[in-house]
Amino acid sequence: MSTIREQILQALSVIAASVPGIAATSLTRERASPVAEADCPALDLAPESEPEPQVLGSGADRHDLTVVFKIHTAGTGAYALADPIVQALHAALYTDPTLGNLASGILPGATDFARDDADQTIGRTSIRYIVVYTTRRGDLTRAIN
């Protein structure tokens, strides 16, 4: 069985696939290649960090997993073009912030704006969320809620 972290990433991928305006072929996880203008709008999901867990006692640990959704849009006003996608993704995430009882909640994080080096017509809006979840110290495959 997969760790809760991987199960959370899979659940987030399903949510990302429901965002209007993102074609299935333009949705990736931990994309390793540049985004072409023809692929925009595109959405990539990746884990960014997970600091040392907080010990809760009774053999339980709290984890704060930071994930980043990178929204690639092409054209003038690329960040304005990303805005409806940002809103739709945010609303979808908060429809069930427990991700089917995998997490105890989702917290909003930082947002960055950048132009991709490969093609200056493509804007990249990176939005972060912190997914809070708890596991037993000896079993990373089951969530405690």
Reported as a single tens digit per residue, the pLDDT across 22-59 is 989 999 999 988 888 889 999 999 999 999 999 998 89
Structure tokens at 145: 């809620």
- Domain of 96, CATH number, reads 3.30.70.1700
DSSP H/E element including 61: strand 60-74
Range of the domain at 123: 4-143
pLDDT of residue 117: 58
CA distance 55 to 137: 9
Residues in the chain: 145
Does position 144 have pLDDT exceeding 60, yes or no? yes
Q: What pLDDT is attached to residue 119?
A: 52
Q: Looking at 1-145, list the stretches that DSSP marks H as alpha helix, in order from N- to C-terminal side.
A: 4-17, 78-93
Q: Give dist(CA 29, CA 4) in Å, integer.
A: 17
Number of domains observed in the structure of the chain = 1
Q: Which residues contact 95 (CB under 8 A, 6 or more apart)?
A: none
Distance, CA of 95 to CA of 116 (rounded, Å): 31
From the list 89, 73, 107, the residue with the least C-alpha distance to 15 is 89
% of the chain exceeding 70 in pLDDT: 97
